[in-house]
Chain A
Amino acid sequence: MRISVMSQMQRSFSIDLPSLIPLQLPSRRYTHLWYVIPDEVKSTSLLKRYSQLLSQTEKDGVDQMRGDELKKNALLARTLVRTTVARYQTNKAFDPRSLMFKKNVYGKPEVDWQNCNNQPLHFNISHTDSLIACGVTVHAPVGIDVEDKERKIKHDVLAFAKRFYSADEVNFLATIRDPEAQRKEFIKLWTLKEAYVKALGKGFSAAPFNTFTIQSIPGTEEGYSLCKTSEVTADPLEETKKCNGEWKFALLELADSHYAAVCIEDDQANEGAPMRVIVRKTIPFVEDQLISERIFL
């Protein structure tokens, strides 16, 4: 389903930006995942209009980036966040420029709703050179991480894993003979672990990578669960693992080129219910495309 607003944009040229097609907030257990491919955004006039959406702080952040490509991607990232959050506002004339952002005490970016408390919408953003993604949920903190499937690791994958991942994850990776397959599983695990830390929102030191394991749920193709290793005990053989269902994971592929991991905190009331991800590709103000709706058990 393609929705084009190109005609709207051509009509209202300089000052008024066209409206984004408004959307209902996701239901609980749904994540809306939006992505933009920087290579597909070429128009300098469009990029100029995007820059008009940004706050001064954001513009300064874009200017700090070294090189045109990095500047463009930083601009697109902020544009994606602003326009995505703006879509869910009930006021149809909602201006993405009016959004304000802040960081929580640990540095995780959030919307600053000013005096409107108890807003249910959560977002998280992730970007690579070639794809930028933004996830949106309600009533549940969310973490997103995307990675190029072909990303090469400069170090030996197992040496890297031994240094940073949990023992169980190292054992899992060690069973994979083919180096290419091993690298891919390493990258998938990286995105899942990053997504969890970002969903947690307390900074990396709150959840060092080697203190938790993410593993496939047996019997499912794409189900993953989280197990935390307990605090150090006197007897290493007694190390217990607490595998809980508090955090839900989804791993998908976007645009055939990237892995994307989504992690949300489970809504205890709906325990056991599956997680759904609706994926849309966008060029803000130009084109939105529904890509898929997936269920993750």
Chain B
Amino acid sequence: MASLSATSLSFKAPSIQSTRISQSISFGRFQSSKSLRLQISCAAKPETVQKVSDIVKEQLALSADTALTAESKFSALGADSLDTVEIVMALEEKFNISVEEADAQNITTIQEAADLIEDLVQKKPAA
């Protein structure tokens, strides 16, 4: 995992992430702010994405073999606002986090939900 400290950046990224980061740096100055963003908030782990997918499938009563990807949009799967709120509640329970209403409204894909979850989990004070 990449880590960010006050004075240095160090990467011990798994191969996929380090490839992505080095690619964006090589494209020149327009990419630099994007690569900085990638360094600070890494995309969510695949396990998190999977757990979110499972919760979404359950809430929307999708068949077990419905192919969901990280990019799947809730609205395209037939979720209305009540479904989205129920999904957020289920995620709060599963990951023991608390989602602000403003953040909850901005979640439109599985990836966004997973990213928010990992962000909140990371910010929790150590037990």
Binding site for B on A (CB under 8 A): 64-67, 70, 127-129, 147, 151, 153-155, 160, 163-164, 190, 194, 203-205, 208-209
Contacts and interface: CB of A to CB of B under 8 A. Distances in A.
B16 interface: no
Contacts of B85: 160, 164
Given A129-B78, A154-B59, A64 B89 contact: no
Contacts of B58: 154
A164 to B, nearest CB: 7
A94 B81 CA distance: 34
Interface in B75-116: 76-78, 80-82, 85-86, 89-90, 101-102, 105
B51 interface: no
Given A64-B76, A66-B76, A203 B82 contact: no
Chain B interface, DSSP helix/strand/loop, else mixed: helix
Given A128-B80, A190-B82, A64 B105 contact: no
A151 B86 CA distance: 13
A159 B2 CA distance: 38
A155 B105 contact: no
Contact of A153 (B76, B86, B101): B86
A66 B85 CA distance: 20
A185 to B, nearest CB: 15
Q: Among the interface residues B58, B59, B82, B105, which one has the most CB atoms of the partner chain A within 10 A?
A: B82
A166 to B, nearest CB: 13
Nearest to B59: A154
8 contacts: A64-B76, A65-B76, A127-B80, A155-B90, A164-B85, A204-B101, A205-B101, A208-B101
B111 to A, nearest CB: 16
Nearest to B78: A70
B76 A154 contact: no
A206 to B, nearest CB: 10
A155 B42 CA distance: 31
Given A154-B90, A164-B85, A65 B105 contact: no
Contact of B82 (A70, A147, A205): A147
Contacts of A127: 80
